[in-house]
DNA sequence: CCGTATCCTTCGTGATACTG
DNA sequence: CAGTATCACGAAGGATACGG
């Protein structure tokens, strides 16, 4: 049952994303893609159709959705099934490999949504500090005291 | 001690990354940036200098490192300290907010490094299937049987 | 040493139109 | 319905040179 497939003399390589040429860099690129995060999130629990995905992801173009789905399929993270009907129906579902990743991406999405306020505040502070630095007392005669 | 700072009548907004205009989209963009993942990873445990970061991240240009660091600083994820010495010394360290994120990013890096082999294999399979589909029996007289 | 400024090339992205 | 093809544009990214 679990008979091992003969391995073609594999070099046991330990990947390292800090190496410029490491393929994990490409992987990070895909994982880190905003559309990837959103698409995999929707497929986490259920199989979905192309049009459904496009409807549920605000602002994604047909081209980018196709491109993202193709990439994910190629990487083995999702599976694409075509039903030979008229009109055609195509369904996408997550693979076991994809399932090992989807939790991490959900965590990223959650982090973004949870900490968005803090980040927005930090941005305001930063921009204000920049403004003050380049324009010491321009805005008004009021001295801004930070503490 | 834990006296609350007066909140400016904040609307309790629940962010949703599936909305096109949601700021969390921007957050995902930054988080999901390959350089962000690598930079924050290096700053997880220790304060580092600009030149050290550049040396440790293979293939990053000065421009992109600067850009990434600025963005992270603006988002409140890292802090930048300039020591008024000659020659100048600048150190970057992670903030408490950044600390809440760095674990997730480490998990992403780990996932990439752990599952790289499976992904590469999936890519080979996909490419081969594509090749076979577009070129049914061209490569040789041998019929390829998949199962 | 730590940047900023500039140029230049490449890539991603959206809009549009067309096909099985 | 679910794509593919093409074009056109701006942003991303690298290389180089210069500045505090």
- Chain B residue with minimum CA distance to A36: B32
- Chain A residue with minimum CA distance to B28: A34
Q: Answer for A51: CB within 7 Å of strand D.
A: yes
Would you call A102 helix, strand, or coil by DSSP?
Answer: helix
Q: Which tens digits make up the pLDDT trace of B11-28?
A: 556 888 898 888 888 888
In angstroms, the CA A14 to CA A24 distance is: 10
Q: Answer for A59: CB within 7 Å of strand C.
A: yes
Q: Which tens digits make up the pLDDT trace of B106-116?
A: 998 899 889 99
pTM of the shown model: 0.82
pLDDT (tens place) for every residue of chain A, 147 residues total: 444 444 455 555 688 889 888 888 888 878 778 889 899 999 999 999 999 999 999 889 999 999 999 999 999 999 999 998 888 899 999 999 999 999 998 998 889 889 999 999 999 999 988 878 776 555 444 444 434
Q: Answer for A55: CB within 7 Å of strand D.
A: no
Which of these, A79, A71, A91, lies nearest to A31 by C-alpha position? A71
In angstroms, the CA B80 to CA B96 distance is: 14
- B58 → closest Cβ in A20, A107, A112: A20
User: What does the block give as tokens for A129?
Assistant: 């500090």
Query: Would the pLDDT of B1 be above 70?
Result: no
Q: Which tens digits make up the pLDDT trace of B42-83?
A: 999 999 999 999 999 989 999 999 999 999 999 999 999 999
The two most distant CA atoms of chain A are separated, in Å, by: 80
Q: Which tens digits make up the pLDDT trace of A120-147?
A: 999 999 998 887 877 655 544 444 443 4
Q: What is the pLDDT of residue B4?
A: 47
Q: Confirm if B50 and B65 have CB atoms less than 8 A apart.
A: yes
Q: Is the CB of B56 less than 8 angstroms away from the CB of A121?
A: no
- B34 → closest Cβ in A29, A37, A56: A29
């Amino acid at each position: 049952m679990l008979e091992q497939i003969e391995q073609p003399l594999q070099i046991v390589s330990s990947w390292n994303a800090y190496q410029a040429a490491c393929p994990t860099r490409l992987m990070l690129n895909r994982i880190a893609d905003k559309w990837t995060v959103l698409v995999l999130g929707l497929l986490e629990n259920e199989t979905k159709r192309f049009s459904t995905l496009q409807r549920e992801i605000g602002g994604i173009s047909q081209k980018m959705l196709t491109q993202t789905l193709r990439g994910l399929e190629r990487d083995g993270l999702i599976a694409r099934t075509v039903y030979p009907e008229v009109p055609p129906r195509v369904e996408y579902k997550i693979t076991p490999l994809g399932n090992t990743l989807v939790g991490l991406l959900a965590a990223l999405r959650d982090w973004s949504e949870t900490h968005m306020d803090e980040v927005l505040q930090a941005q305001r502070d930063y921009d204000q500090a920049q403004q003050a630095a380049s324009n010491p007392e321009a805005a008004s005669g009021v001295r801004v005291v930070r503490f």
